[in-house]
Amino acid sequence: MSVLDIKLDRAFDVFDSDRDGKLGKADLTGLSDRLAESLDYAPDAVAGLRNSLADLWDTVFHKMDKNDDGGVDRQEFRQAFRARIVSDQNRIWERIRVMSNAWTELADRDGDGMLSREEYTSLLHGMFRLPRETFDEAFNQLDIDGDGQLSRDEISSAMKEYYTSEKHSARGNQFFGRL
């Protein structure tokens, strides 16, 4: 199994919130509700993120369901994501950037436009329910300039690298924690 397949499988597992082995729109949009709950925000406060996740489903994920069974299984996700990255890079990265910016804005509690270690950890723990310790090492890898903060560019760059790089040593591979 390639490094990219390992990362795509991890992403699939992170998105599959009900653990039924299929991704549905509710899996994606539910991430915004989890974040709202974990950060003690009103559901309306995460409307922008919910909308960007719904758009990601409608324009990208929904089309991955090749057998029309109403959900995207692991194999469909892997194959379609690889094909989409090659054929439609600009559009998919624009949607991922919009989503990334929406959740970065929500997690940026002090409003400085950057994510501190605590903000980053709270964000990913809240959305994906992974252990907080998972993100401590990840933060160190993603903080390229070593300033103790993650900029939107560092986050977007890490996400892009996570979903495209075949190199095991790529920094962005740490986005959801150690591989």
The full DSSP string for 90-106 is: HHHHHHHHHHHHHHHHH
Residue 73 pLDDT:
96
User: CA-CA distance, 35 to 42, in Å (whole number)?
Assistant: 10
Residue 40 pLDDT:
85
Q: DSSP labels for 22-68?
A: EE-HHHHHHHHHHHHHHTT--GGGGHHHHHHHHHHIIIIIGGG-TT-
Q: What are the residue boundaries of the structural domains of the chain, listed by start?
A: 3-174
What fold is seen in the domain 3-174?
Answer: Recoverin; domain 1 (1.10.238)
The tens place of each residue's pLDDT in the chain, 179 residues long, gives: 889 899 999 989 988 988 899 999 999 898 888 888 888 888 888 888 888 889 888 888 888 899 999 899 999 999 988 887 666 666 777 777 777 788 788 889 899 989 999 999 888 888 888 888 888 888 988 999 999 999 988 888 888 888 888 888 898 888 888 78
Residue 76 pLDDT:
94
User: CA-CA distance, 56 to 171, in Å (whole number)?
Assistant: 24
Residue 122 pLDDT:
87
CB 115 within 8 Å of CB 139: no
Q: Provide the 8-state DSSP code for 124.
A: H
| Structure tokens, 168 | 């095991």
User: CA-CA distance, 33 to 42, in Å (whole number)?
Assistant: 9
